[in-house]
Every structure is written in structure tokens, then in C-alpha cells.
Structure 1
Amino acid sequence: MAPQPLTELEIAEALSGLPGWSLQEDRLVREYTLPGHLPAVAMLVHIASVQEELNHHADLSVTYNRLGVSVNTHSVGGKVTELDTQLAIRVEELALSHGAS
């Protein structure tokens, strides 16, 4: 079944379990701070691996020790779907192992 855009209530419920994440212009976004540049890049590579596993990809950016994650689902017109919340949950799960805050 094709992904469907989440309602505002569904997005709010998902965000309640995703500390630090927010909705900005129809995207789930989060910025992490890491102990240095190499840990930020290592976390980016780990996220890339998870994205390949899920076949769903976020926009990622690194600025020295900060890693930005921004995601929505292009196939539904750039809206937030369950695919995005699943990816955000997976990113949160791996963030601690990278020393991210």
C-alpha cells in the first residue's frame, strides 16, 4: 500500500515521542550536536545505512559537529508520512550511541 500523508494530529502524536524533532514546512527536522566533526560524519554514515535498509531517505547536512536531518515523502507531494516517522525513530535510536544531543 502506498504511503499516505499523516494528519496534523498524527504528526503531533509522533512528535510527542521524538524529543528535539519538530515540523517545519511539511518536514520532520532535527539538529544534533556531536563531540566533533568525525562523530558527526560517522553518525551521517550510520543514518545512510538505515536509510538504505528502509529505502527511504532524508536530507542530511553536516556543519563541523552538527548534523541536520530533514525528511518528508516526495511520492505524496512532500508531506509527512509514517515512513518519515519510522526513519526519525530509527535515527533517535542510534543517536545516543554516537554521543549526539
Structure 2
Amino acid sequence: MAAKPLTEQEIDRALTGLSGWTAEDGRLVRGYGMPNHLAAVALLVHIASIQEELNHHADLTVTYDRVGVSVTTHSAGGRLTDLDVRLAGRIEEIAPAHGAV
């Protein structure tokens, strides 16, 4: 069963619980400042393990001390779904333990 795209109201509601996240062009987007490069890579690996668990994957970027996350549901035509919100929420739960701001 394909994931159902969220309405604008559902996206707005979801964003109230996702500090620092924005909705841009059918994606949930967030950047994290990290204490250093190793912390950035550690967060990336932790996110990768969550993605495997959920079988839903974000586009991730790492620079020296930043991690960028961009989430969408390709099977829903590049629209936001509950899968994206769940993944973003899980990332929000683990990011502080890696020193993310």
C-alpha cells in the first residue's frame, strides 16, 4: 500500500513538533550544527541505522561540522507522508546525544 500524501494542514501540525524543520518543495529539511567532524559522521551513521529500521531513507549531507537532512516519499510522487514525519521525529530524538544544535 502506497503512503498517503499529507495535507498542508497535516504538514503544519507535524512541523509544530519538529523544532528546526521546515517544509520546502515537498521535503522536510533540517540542518544540524555539530561539535566537530567525528560527531557529524557519528550522527550520520546513527541516522542511517534508523533509516534501515524504518525502510525509509533521507538524503543526507555531511560537511566538516554540519549534517543536512532532506526527507520525502518518492513512492508518493515526492510528496510528504507520515513516513517522513516519523523519520524526522526519530532523528530529532537522537540528535542531541551527538551534540547537535
TM-score by length of 2: 0.98
Following superposition of structure 1 onto structure 2, how do residues 13-52 of structure 1 map, counting pairs within 5 Å?
13-52=13-52
Shift of 1:63: 1.0
Q: Secondary structure at the match of 1:69?
A: strand
Shift of 1:2: 2.3
The gaps in structure 2 that reach 5 residues or longer are none
Letter in 2 for 1:77: G
Deviations 1:25-74 (A, max 9, x none): 11000000010001000000000000000000000000110000000000
TM-score by length of 1: 0.98
Q: Hey, what's the Cα distance between the residues in 1 that align with 2:24 and 2:2?
A: 23
Residue of structure 1 in register with 2:75 after alignment: 75
Residue of structure 2 in register with 1:99 after alignment: 99
How many residue pairs were aligned? 101
- Cα-Cα RMSD: 0.5
Q: Secondary structure at the match of 2:30?
A: strand
Q: Hey, what's the Cα distance between the residues in 1 that align with 2:55 and 2:99?
A: 25
Residue of structure 2 in register with 1:58 after alignment: 58
Q: Secondary structure at the match of 1:32?
A: strand
Shift of 1:84: 0.1
* Identical-pair percentage: 65
The gaps in structure 1 that reach 5 residues or longer are none
